[in-house]
Amino acid sequence: MPRVLITGISGFVGKETAKEILKNPENQVVGLIRPNTNRERVSEFLDNVEFLEIDLCDVNNLKKSIENYSFDIVVHIGALRGGRPDSKDKYYLANVEATQIIANYCLNHKARLIYCSSVGVFGAIPKELPAKESTPRQDDNYYHFTKNRSEAIIQDLNLQGLDSVIIRPAITYGVGDYGFPYSLCKLVDKKMMLLSSDEVKIHLTNVHSLAVSFAYFVNNNVGRGKNYIIADKEPIKLSDLVQYISQKIHKSPYPQNRQIPAIFFALGRKIAKLLNNELFVSRFELISQSWYYNVDDAYEDIPLEELESIQNFDEVIDWYLGSK
């Protein structure tokens, strides 16, 4: 029976992935969580998952502890997400050094590594659209730098025999995450969402599709050395999604006077960059410039349902309304 370590199992993506992996009764799952994590956060797994309490920033303890275990597969989802106020040192420990330790473990123990990276390796706004494997990488913020560095570590170890698959999700939507999709609902609800006069196309990932992708490579020994961008089948217009959210929440169109000339967004990005505020730079970029990806390889190799983002956004809207 395969023994699977899932890092970040208490998080939004980790939970959904664990549920998908546990659908296969042959998989024995160990979940890595931070010390003193409230067990309510992982209550659904208490009967069928063993827990290993380690902070990814505590790299010495991580290296020592996992050597005491024998894993066939490691699904490495845990990381410090972009936009948090943590120091660069902490980001580097959790996102790069921890990945180095886990990748070395997998190489030395002949375990498969399935790594959760990010489309952020191409930058918040890719240099070409749709972004694809050959698109230039960008370290336009420190979080993206850590993901690029981690991918480079894994790809170097692939040359030494590491069996890895890299999954790069776009911004993910579903119930339980307070990131971009939830914030978008909140801004539309309060009529504070400003839209650019330029057409802006975005590309989202349904969290269930992402979980299916991880589980597929746990259950099937395929894809060695490959990288996959995971997102819904097609990008959507941001303005269409805003109108849909407005109709669902207020039963009325979103006000037309919330659309402003694109030049004001460019000015906002420039000011945020002068203030060296990576979070606000990213926020300005995500709502004023297009970002979408070529997902043909994923849909060719992985049995993914071809979901349409707007039609599947109801669960986020309903959850937002219920959590107000």
Number of domains in the chain: 1
Instruction: Give a yes or no: residue 92 inside a domain.
Output: yes
What confidence score (pLDDT) does residue 265 get?
81
**Phi, psi of 295, rounded to the nearest 5 degrees:** -110, 20
What are the tens digits of pLDDT across the range 71-116?
999 999 999 887 677 899 999 999 999 999 999 999 999 999 999 9
Position 279 in a domain: no
What backbone phi and psi angles, to 5 degrees, belong to 11? -90, 175
What contacts 292, CB < 8 A, 6 or more positions away?
129, 130, 131, 201, 202, 203, 231, 235
pTM: 0.95
Pick left, alpha or beta for residue 22 (phi over 0 → left; psi -120 to 50 → alpha; otherwise beta): alpha
CA 239/CA 207 separation, integer angstroms: 22
Instruction: Give yes or no for a contact between 200 and 289, defined as CB atoms under 8 angstroms apart.
Output: yes
Mean pLDDT to the nearest integer, 278-295:
86
Query: Residue 61 above 80 pLDDT?
Result: yes
Residue 319 located in a structural domain = no
Full residue range of the structural domain in which residue 41 is found? 3-177+203-233+292-307
The verdict on residue 108 lying in a domain is yes
216, 217, 218, 221: CA torsion to nearest 10: 120
Residue 111 lies in a domain: yes
Phi, psi of 3 (to 5 degrees): -105, 120
pLDDT in tens, 239-261: 999 999 999 999 999 999 999 89
- Specify the 3-state DSSP secondary structure of 3: strand
Q: Residue 7 domain-assigned?
A: yes
Query: Is residue 53 predicted with pLDDT exceeding 80?
Result: yes
Q: Tell me the CA distances in angstroms from 280 to 22, 84, 268, one per residue in order.
A: 38, 12, 9
Q: What is the pLDDT of residues 199-240, one digit of tens each?
A: 999 999 999 999 999 999 999 999 999 999 999 999 999 999
Domain annotation covers residue 239:
no
CA dist 99 and 93 (Å) reads 9
Does any domain span residue 254? no
Q: What is the CATH number of the domain that holds 173?
A: 3.40.50.720
pLDDT of residue 212: 98
In DSSP notation, 148-176 reads HHHHHHHHHHHTTT-EEEEEEE-SEESTT
pLDDT in tens, 298-312: 999 999 999 999 999
Residue 268's pLDDT is 73
Q: What's the one-letter identity of residue 180?
A: F
